[in-house]
Structures are given as structure tokens and as C-alpha cells.
Amino acid sequence: MNFQIFSFFLFAVAAYFIVTDESVAAAFYYVYRLAKAYIQRQWWWITHNPRNPVVKYLMWRRSMKLAKELQKYFEENK
């Protein structure tokens, strides 16, 4: 219960400063955008890192599918 009251108090103070001071609102907006960009960068790296075994498997599966399609295409067009 105390944590909820403390969190609400911090939120209320932050909201007060954001509403009353334009520079605080701009700083809050830029920090939000910076955090969002960092999270997107981390998510991209997790989903595209070739050392990740899941990504490695997906790349292998995609390559094998393309190889089968190319084999079929070249066998048909001899």
C-alpha cells in the first residue's frame, strides 16, 4: 500500500511539473523518445543477431526454402 501511495505521489509531482513548465514537458518528451529508440534498437538486435539460436534456425529455414524453390525452378527450365 505504501508503494502505491509513493508511486502516486511521484506521478502527481511529475505531472504537475509537466503541465506547468514547458521545458520539463519537452525534456520528458525527449527522454521518452530516447527510451523508445533504445528499446527498439535492443529489440532489433535480439531478433536479428545471428548468434541467437532461434534467429539462426529461422535463417537456415528461409535459406533451405529458397534453395528448394531454386532447385525446382532450374529442374523445370532445363
Q: Which residues contact 52 (CB under 8 A, 6 or more apart)?
A: 46
Q: Residues of the chain with pLDDT > 70: what percent?
A: 99
Report pLDDT digits (tens) over 12-38.
998 998 899 999 999 999 999 999 999
Report pLDDT digits (tens) over 44-53.
999 999 899 9
pLDDT at 68: 97
- Following DSSP, what letter does each residue of 21-66 receive, concatenated? -HHHHHHHHHHHHHHHHHHHHHHHHHHH-TTSHHHHHHHHHHHHHH
Average pLDDT of the residues of the chain: 93
- What ranges do the domains of the chain cover? 2-76
Whether 78 has a pLDDT exceeding 80, the answer reads no
